[in-house]
């Protein structure tokens, strides 16, 4: 039986997405103010769902995504700025939760990598062209 336990655990992996609890009211209900809802929606599309890791919380049907949407709408309705809410989420799950990498650390490298590659290409091309003259 013990030998089969890991296999059994793999089989029940979908159970992680189950359970039965009430869905938070604001998970699937829009805010009355369309401008605020649009602001919340923009933010929700750029936050990553913790449960189904490739999707944004706006696209995911996982219970945790619902809880995160409710949190975003609640804070937006309370007058909080989207950047502050993103920081609130990062304060809980780390940079990982944001689809928009920050311009620092490894994130900075990501942003400037195209520029560095472009400069390197110019340098190589210059060497090649100079040879012909």
Partner 1 sequence: MNRPWLLWIPLAVVAFIGGLAIYGLVVPKDDQVYSAMVGKKLPEFALPAATAGVQPLSNTDMADGKPRLLNIFASWCLPCKAEAPHLETLKAAGVEIDAIAIRDKPEDVAAFLAEFGNPFRRIGSDSEMAVQLKLGSSGVPETYVIGGDGMILFQHIGDIRAEHVPMLIEKVNSAK
> Which residues of the chain form contacts with partner 1 (CB under 8 A)?
5, 8-9, 12, 15-16, 18-24, 50-51, 53, 63-64, 67-68, 70-71, 90-94, 96-97, 124, 127-128, 131
Closest distance to partner 1 from the beta carbon of 96 (Å): 6
CA–CA separation, 72 and 87 (whole Å): 12
Long-range contacts of 103-111 (CB under 8 A, 24+ apart): none
Closest distance to partner 1 from the beta carbon of 127 (Å): 6
Closest distance to partner 1 from the beta carbon of 79 (Å): 20
Closer to partner 1 by Cβ: residue 23 or 30: 23
Residues 88 and 75: beta-carbon distance below 8 Å: yes
Closest distance to partner 1 from the beta carbon of 108 (Å): 19
Closer to partner 1 by Cβ: residue 8 or 35: 8
Beta-carbon contacts of residue 77 (< 8 Å; ≥ 6 apart): 26, 31, 33, 36
Closer to partner 1 by Cβ: residue 79 or 94: 94
Closer to partner 1 by Cβ: residue 51 or 55: 51
CA atoms within 13 A on the CB side of 46: 16
CA–CA separation, 78 and 72 (whole Å): 10
């Amino acid at each position: 039986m013990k030998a089969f336990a890991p296999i059994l655990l793999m089989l029940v992996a979908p159970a992680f997405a189950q359970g039965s609890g009430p869905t938070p009211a604001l998970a699937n209900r829009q805010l009355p103010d369309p401008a605020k809802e649009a602001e919340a929606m923009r933010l929700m599309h750029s936050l990553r769902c913790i449960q189904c890791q490739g999707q944004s919380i706006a696209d995911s049907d996982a219970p945790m995504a619902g809880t995160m949407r409710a949190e975003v709408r609640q804070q937006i309705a309370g007058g909080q700025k989207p950047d502050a809410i993103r920081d609130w989420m990062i304060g809980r799950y780390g940079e990982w939760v944001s689809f928009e990498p920050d311009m620092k650390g490894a994130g900075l490298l990501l942003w400037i990598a195209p520029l560095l590659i472009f400069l390197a290409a110019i340098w190589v091309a210059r060497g090649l062209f100079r040879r012909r003259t």
